[in-house]
Amino acid sequence: MKLVVEKEDELLNYLYNHLDMPKKTIKQYLTHGSIFVNNNRTTKYNMRLLPGMNIVIDTNSKSKKTLPFDILFEDDHIIVVNKPSGLLTIATNKEKEKTLYHIVREYLVSKNKNAKVFIVHRLDKDTSGIVLFAKDEKTKNKLQENWNEYVSLREYIAVVHGTLKKKEDRIVEYLKETKTNLVYTTKKDDGKEAITNYKVLKENNQYSLVSIFLETGRKNQIRVAFQSLKNPIVGDKKYGDKNDLENRLYLHANRLKIYYPEIKKEILFETATPNEFKKIMNRGD
């Protein structure tokens, strides 16, 4: 069964409106990995569809390789995924194989032996959330060279220790890095400007859930900003308490809006708040 998308919509809603099929049945197809958009398997109910995309429902497709995390968007030029915490974006001297780049590349090559993948931007190993890769060098160069102009929204969500004195603020700092890769605040004429905006969404007697908007993209910028407020991010053993018992950093890149030159319009990529964040906020009540 094949459909060609006629107008922008979310996957589940589009299928429900264009198929003579109960919504429950469509959800089952999604859950079992039997729906493909532009030849890419997806289980995301709210995957964003654009005109011209192909949708195929194939109940005999279980042998295809899948990713161990969500694909938020994919077409012939880019793939956008939801990176888990604890996974490097790209290789280092110590880690060559177990990286987001390697996993995404392996997935693409399983479908097309000539597939390529290129880094456009990255997240820290311990930060989860939205990462965009290019599938060809031309797209990679165009996005990288114009990244600051193309990106109109970079939003994160985090859980920090304690309660913040200001429930909404704009933090302007100047950052510098040591030889051991530790970022710290310094004087204006000695570091790079880092601007971090935040707003408290929820708080209890132990933690605060905050929404964060970046105006700059410096290394470890968010982690250093909340360290300077003496409200470090939960699970941050580098800039917070080394004895923090949490097994992950509670920082997640949840929204990215970017101008996509291939379609000459902006696209907003979104993910849900991780369940761990909700659980820890309930735990502190």
Q: Are 210 and 199 in contact (CB under 8 A)?
A: yes
Cα–Cα distance, 68 to 40 (Å, whole number)? 14
Q: Are 214 and 196 in contact (CB under 8 A)?
A: yes
Is residue 236 part of the annotated active site? The answer reads: no
124, 169, 241, 244: the active-site residue: 124
Provide the phi-psi class of 197: left if phi over 0, else alpha when psi is between -120 and 50, else beta. beta
User: Residue 5: which of 51, 48, 56, 46 has the closest Cα?
Assistant: 51
Q: Are 195 and 172 in contact (CB under 8 A)?
A: yes
Cα–Cα distance, 248 to 232 (Å, whole number)? 13
- Enumerate the active-site residues: 124
